[in-house]
């Protein structure tokens, strides 16, 4: 059975764009509207001859009263079935309270976490990625899911965790 990698993070950080980039075709639904991915979706992927399953997450309703709880519940189900987690953060925004809620859940689960500092489209925003060391998951991997920058190094790091 191929190892399972869950892609988690708050809405609009670029999880589905990253999944599209890794699977190499535009299949996961990407929208500008936060929370557009309705359900968890699994994809077969491969890197350096290693097969794995990617689980995109989303589907949370935007509920002003309970969004932190909804994000945590959704991410939790994906993490429970995963061998490792790609935790995606928008480096251009920095760590938000919702990101911190995901951090707490991931600490409880104890699965290996690879921290993706997404939307680092060029060298001028590398410093935004470095700021995410503060999340406590080790090295933030600077990536542009949109353009593909840094995704090879990220996937090499992923294979080290599987």
Q: How far is the CB of 121 from ligand GDP (least distance, A)?
A: 5
Coil, helix or strand for 18? helix
Contacts (CB under 5 A) with Mg ion, residues 43-62 = 58
Helix, strand, coil fractions of the chain, as percent rounded to 5: 35, 20, 40
The response to whether 121 counts as a known ligand-binding position is yes
23 lies in the site for ligand GDP, by CB under 6 A: no
Q: How far is the CB of 88 from ligand GDP (least distance, A)?
A: 6
Residue of 4, 6, 16, 155 that binds ligand GDP (CB under 6 A)? 16
The response to whether 12 counts as a known ligand-binding position is yes
Q: How far apart are CA 57 and CA 7, in angstroms?
A: 6
Q: How far is the CB of 12 from ligand GDP (least distance, A)?
A: 5
Cβ neighbourhood burial of 53 (10 Å; 0-12, 13-18, 19+): middle
* β strands within the chain, DSSP E: 4-8, 41-47, 50-56, 84-90, 113-118, 140-142
Contact criterion met (CB below 8 Å) for 143 and 117? yes
Site string for ligand GDP, 109-148 (x = CB under 6 A): ---------xx-x----------------------xxx--
> Which parts of this chain interact with ligand GDP (CB under 6 A)?
9, 11-17, 30-32, 37, 58, 118-119, 121, 144-146
């Amino acid at each position: 059975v191929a190892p399972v990698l869950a892609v988690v993070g708050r809405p609009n950080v670029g999880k589905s764009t990253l999944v599209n980039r890794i699977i190499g075709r535009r299949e996961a639904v990407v929208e500008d509207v936060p929370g557009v991915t309705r359900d968890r979706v699994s994809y077969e992927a491969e890197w350096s001859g290693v097969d794995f399953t990617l689980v995109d997450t989303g589907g949370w309703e935007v509920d002003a009263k309970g969004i932190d709880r909804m994000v945590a519940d959704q991410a939790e189900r994906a993490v429970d079935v995963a061998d490792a987690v790609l935790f995606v953060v928008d480096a251009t925004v920095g760590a938000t309270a919702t990101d911190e809620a995901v951090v707490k859940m991931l600490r409880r689960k104890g699965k290996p976490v690879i921290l993706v500092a997404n939307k680092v489209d060029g060298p001028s925003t590398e410093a935004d990625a470095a700021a995410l060391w503060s999340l406590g998951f080790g090295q933030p991997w600077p990536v542009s899911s949109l353009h593909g920058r840094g995704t090879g190094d990220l996937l090499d790091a992923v294979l080290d965790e599987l």
